[in-house]
Amino acid sequence: MSQPFAKLPAWADYGLLPLINLIVAFLVAGLVVLLVGESPIDAAVLMVKGAFGSGDGVGYTLYYATNFIFTGLCVAVAFHCGLFNIGGEGQAYIGGLGVSLVGLWLGNFLPWWLTFPLAILASALVGALWALIPAWLQAKRGSHVVITTIMFNFIAASIMVYVLVGVLKPAGSQAPETRVFAEGGQLPGLGWLLELVGLSMRSAPLNVSFLLALVAAFLVWVLIWRTKLGYEIRTMGFSPKAARYAGISELRIIIITMMISGALAGMMALNPIMGAQHRMQLDFVAGAGFVGIAVALMGRSHPAGIVLAAILFGMLYQGGAEIAFDMPNISRDMIVIIQGLVILFAGALEHMFRPSLQRIFYRLGRAKNRTAAAVIAGGNQ
């Protein structure tokens, strides 16, 4: 216990350690593939091929990644404040209401570049309001945000089923979904972006929300590390006591942080609704809110890391769908396992390898010092 540990260099702390955790998570996932009777290596090859092998593959990968960037940022912003927002799923789901209202109503007579900003505002607002109640309860009444956001996920799911089945479903239709939006409620695709690098995209739903996600990631970086508010958020996350002594209002910071977090989750709804399906369907979030937890943990709550982790999970989603054709025993639920393992190893067990790694670096450092000392001693003789 009391053995001195070397402080890890930054590249090991932010690069090597997450990489080790990730590799272990994938090794365990490989065991599950073996258990199912398939070859993990073949599965990995198929997955990478499916995700990056064609223009459409890349398009789908980035389309899924768009969802995960939003939800990953949502979880990360809350993490910086020491809050665990499990409610991204519900906030994104409810955020769909804002997108659909704009799409159904304004989409009829406005062009997309006018509906888009309005839909961004509407989805962010609805998502933020859905996060406001748990935030207020945490800040004012001390009820744990983890429990309340879980409860709010279920409440959101019930409300959305009610709304889609009872209110927004067009008369005479059986499927629980809205009507298809008019032209103005549909976002343009990003085929030209892929053509720049020589890929052609035919059916993949990659759209301008991807660019919005990148902008959001940059803005979150600015907010967290370059503004006064971000400094206050991080102070609160690091030590609520210190924040209180510094005169930072706990109530204000918790509510603002959770609302930003909810707004980011709400904006995720733009991508599948206005970008891909041009209508709101039942359960369109499809677990992306929860993937955000894994993405944020893997990306170390840094926007750059989150974008990379989101693309990795986008690859898993797209590649996983492709694998299912060749290996019928492996469905997309494999991703849920990988997601769980990443959360376990990169989140809950993130310190498992740290002591041994520190010991190795300590030994290395000592050995280097000794040779350096020997060289100096030898030079003096």
List interacting residues with another protein (CB under 8 A).
1-2, 32, 35-37, 84, 86, 133, 137, 141-144, 146-148, 150-152, 154-155, 158-159, 161-162, 166, 290, 293, 297, 329-331, 333-341, 343-344, 347-352
> What count of other Cβ atoms lies within 10 Å of the Cβ of residue 201?
23
Min dist CB 362 to another protein, Å, is 19
**Residue whose C-alpha is closest to residue 229's, from 378, 40, 80:** 80
Distance in Å, CB of 352 to another protein, minimum: 5
Q: Toward another protein, which CB reaches closer, 112 or 313?
A: 313
Distance CA 73, CA 58 (A): 22
Considering beta carbons, is residue 158 or 369 the nearer one to another protein?
158
* Angular region, 286: left φ>0, alpha ψ -120 to 50, beta rest: left
CB of 221 to another protein, least distance (A): 23
Q: Output 126 or 330, the one with its CB closest to another protein.
A: 330
Q: What type of residue sits at position 296?
A: A
By beta-carbon proximity to another protein, the closer residue of 13 and 350 is 350
Minimum gap (Å) between residue 89 Cβ and another protein: 12
Q: Can you say whether the dihedral through the CA atoms of 57, 58, 61, 66 is positive or negative?
A: negative
Locate 104 and state its tokens: 């159904």
Minimum distance of another protein from residue 150's CB (angstroms):
6
Phi, psi values for residue 329, rounded to 5°: -75, -15
For residues 100 and 209, which CB has a smaller minimum distance to another protein in the complex?
A: 100
Q: Residue 7 Cβ, how far from another protein at the closest point, in Å?
A: 19
How many Å apart are CA 64 and CA 238, to the nearest integer?
Answer: 32
> Which residue lies nearer to another protein by CB, 124 or 298?
298
- Identity of the residue, 167 or 196, whose beta carbon is nearer to another protein in the bound complex: 167
Q: Shortest distance, CB of residue 344 to another protein, whole angstroms? A: 4
Any alpha helices (H) in the chain, and if so which ranges? 10-11, 17-36, 40-52, 55-80, 88-105, 112-136, 145-162, 191-196, 209-226, 228-238, 240-245, 250-267, 270, 288-298, 303-326, 333-342, 354-380
Q: Which is nearer to another protein, 139 or 216 (CB)?
A: 139
Instruction: Report the C-alpha gap between 151 and 147 in whole angstroms.
Output: 6
Determine contact, residues 118/56, Cβ cutoff 8 Å: no
Rounded to a whole number of angstroms, the minimum distance from the CB of residue 341 to another protein is: 6
Q: What is the C-alpha to C-alpha distance for residues 360 and 46, in angstroms, rounded to an integer?
A: 36
